Amino acid sequence: MENCKITANAIKKIYIKGQIHDIEVGMRQVTLTDTVTTKGKKEFNEPVRLYDTGGVWSDENVKVDVKKGIPKIKEQWLAKRKADKGQILTQMALAKAGVITEEMEYVAIRENMGHINDDKSYITPEFVRQEVAAGRAVIPSNPNHPEAEPMIIGSRFLVKINTNIGNSALGSDINKEVEKAIYSCLLGGDTLMDLSTGKDIHQTRENIIRNCPVPMGTVPVYQALEKVNGIAENLTWEIYRDTLIEQCEQGVDYFTIHAGLLWKLVPFAKQRLTGIVSRGGSIMAKWMETNKKENFLYTHFEDICDILARYDVAVSLGDGLRPGSLHDANDEAQFGELETLGELTQIAWNKNVQVLIEGPGHIPMHKIKENMDKQIAICHGAPFYTLGPLTIDIAPGYDHITSAIGAALIGWYGTAMLCYVTPKEHLALPDKEDVRNGIIAYKIAAHAADIAKGHPSAMERDNALSKARFEFRWNDQFNLALDPQRAREYFGESSHGSDYCTMCGPNFCAMRISRQISDK
């Protein structure tokens, strides 16, 4: 089994330098072995460059001490920019002013997946600037999280995935959450939300941010609620505002804020099969129903944006009324809230705050397109960021799959970022293995969408892997896989020769026979 051992040194971290700025963009490069034809002829295979979200965690040459955190990649850019302007300007403000930032060039190089000045390097720094200026794309960029590598969320870029981690009152500890965060980045999570609602919220977040090479989001009302001992009706604007500032200072890159859930919409939710299933949404609904007042996140939305603009924290407008079942999909409650999100988008943009729009949830396949179309029409092209959607309700334990179907579809239709769902959804907090299964299911959905959308270099990896598969270059196939370890494990469980596997055995291997027929 010579050709089945793990050849980790075939996967290397490489860095591509910027042409405008003094930046270096990390990527993974997979070196391939030669093709050997059935006649013994050797042919070279080009290495394949892969988008990499692992930061220094995927660079074997960088040693990291988790207690100190990872290197601060953006520190110098920010220092220089602050010295120039005397204050932090948001990426959107700079983009509107015609400035191509380090972040913009960085994401342009990243999105081209290693292509430089060829027909597949179609994303230019100027194109990035235009998309950010128009609000059609977001580069989450809190300067207090200088460890995060720039990435972009927008429908004209690669589809991104977000992973959720975080404890609850009933489970997990800080080290486990940090471990899950790093694991998420290594496996391909583009952003990470810490949804902790248990103890040590501040410290858990601190430890994650300092080790996190991807932008991080939170739902600040969770921590605010903990500050009033879990009693929703006791929340105040002041407590919420102070929580926002605390998290801005700490380095959170985007906040989910349920400012679109208006009081008048709550009665619509009461008519539903499954009411309100957004945690933030249910908290705000209870606050409004008890205090008989409009949602303070809505009434204070301009104040919120003023704070966010100071830190270039993006707002992710939460869908507090997202459907929690197929039955409630595309109803008056859901689309009513979307109208408000459209209004809020323009308020935020006027203050140069970058905006994401959150979307559902549970939607049968034939109703998914309507969601995307309405979101584009109502929210002025702001990037859509959906949870799944789940396409059926009857598979608890497999909701990473029920939702990967919906995620692939809505990504194809134009959603910019897909929030993952793990197999434990509806049942329990995910452990590390659940995080893995959720991430891979969503990498699959995002990649399927990238290909269907026609991203010019999306299929290169598929073609390289398929060629390796046809030529029985098992290690190349595994190194190009989304989860090389899992593929190796399944393959290696059984014993067999090197030019077939146990599925077909030697006489029935179609690829083996086909190669014999075709090879020159």
Q: Please give the residues from 180 up to 199 whose contact with a copy of itself meets the rule CB under 8 A.
A: 197-198
Which range touches a copy of itself (CB under 8 A), out of 21-29, 73-81, 91-99, 224-232? Answer: 224-232
| 300 backbone dihedrals φ, ψ, rounded to 5° | -105, 20
**Measured on CA atoms in the order 45, 57, 153, 364, is the torsion positive or negative?**
positive
Site for a copy of itself in 376-435 (CB under 8 A): 391-398, 400-402, 404-405, 408-409, 412, 423-429
Residue 98 or 171 with smaller CB distance to a copy of itself: 171
Which range touches a copy of itself (CB under 8 A), out of 34-42, 92-100, 122-130, 510-518? Answer: 510-518
Residue 443 is a binding residue for a copy of itself (CB under 8 A): yes
Written in H, E and C, the secondary structure of 156-179 is CCCCEEEEEECCECCECCHHHHHH
Token digits of residue 183: 């694991």
Residue 83 is a binding residue for a copy of itself (CB under 8 A): no
Nearest 10 degrees: Cα torsion 199, 201, 202, 207: 100
Residue 486 is a binding residue for a copy of itself (CB under 8 A): yes
Site for a copy of itself in 148-177 (CB under 8 A): 168-171
Residue 49 is a binding residue for a copy of itself (CB under 8 A): no
Q: Taking the CB of residue 473, how many other CB atoms lie within 10 A of it? A: 23
Which range touches a copy of itself (CB under 8 A), out of 12-20, 36-44, 176-184, 442-450? Answer: 442-450
Tokens 């969770």 map to which residue? 222
Residue 378 or 392 with smaller CB distance to a copy of itself: 392
Tokens 């452990």 map to which residue? 431
The answer to whether residues 139 and 191 touch, using CB atoms and an 8 Å cutoff, is no
Residue 14 or 392 with smaller CB distance to a copy of itself: 392
Which range touches a copy of itself (CB under 8 A), out of 112-120, 154-162, 178-186, 499-507? Answer: 499-507
Q: Taking the CB of residue 416, how many other CB atoms lie within 10 A of it? A: 24
Residue 83 or 170 with smaller CB distance to a copy of itself: 170
Compute how many residues bind a copy of itself; rule: CB under 8 A: 110
Q: Taking the CB of residue 442, how many other CB atoms lie within 10 A of it? A: 32
The answer to whether residues 280 and 219 touch, using CB atoms and an 8 Å cutoff, is yes
Residue 83 or 503 with smaller CB distance to a copy of itself: 503
The DSSP-derived string for 445-464 is HHHHHHHHHT-TTTTHHHHH
Residue 79 or 427 with smaller CB distance to a copy of itself: 427
d(CA 177, CA 179): 5
Residue 366 is a binding residue for a copy of itself (CB under 8 A): yes
Taking the complex as a whole, the smallest distance from the CB of residue 448 to a copy of itself amounts, in Å, to 4
Site for a copy of itself in 102-141 (CB under 8 A): none
Whether the ω angle into residue 389 lies within 30 degrees of 0, i.e. cis, is yes
Q: What angle do CA 287, 306, 155 make, to 5 degrees?
A: 90
Residue 475 is a binding residue for a copy of itself (CB under 8 A): no
Taking the complex as a whole, the smallest distance from the CB of residue 311 to a copy of itself amounts, in Å, to 26
Which residue, among 178, 181, 202, 200, has the nearest Cα to 192 in the 3D structure?
Answer: 181
Residue 149 or 471 with smaller CB distance to a copy of itself: 471
d(CA 323, CA 325): 6
Site for a copy of itself in 303-362 (CB under 8 A): 324-327, 362
Q: What angle do CA 511, 513, 516 make, to 5 degrees?
A: 105
Site for a copy of itself in 264-303 (CB under 8 A): 266, 269-270, 273-279, 281-283, 285-286, 289
Residue 496 is a binding residue for a copy of itself (CB under 8 A): yes
Taking the complex as a whole, the smallest distance from the CB of residue 147 to a copy of itself amounts, in Å, to 28
Q: Which of 1, 24, 230, 350 binds a copy of itself (CB under 8 A)?
A: 230
Taking the complex as a whole, the smallest distance from the CB of residue 492 to a copy of itself amounts, in Å, to 9
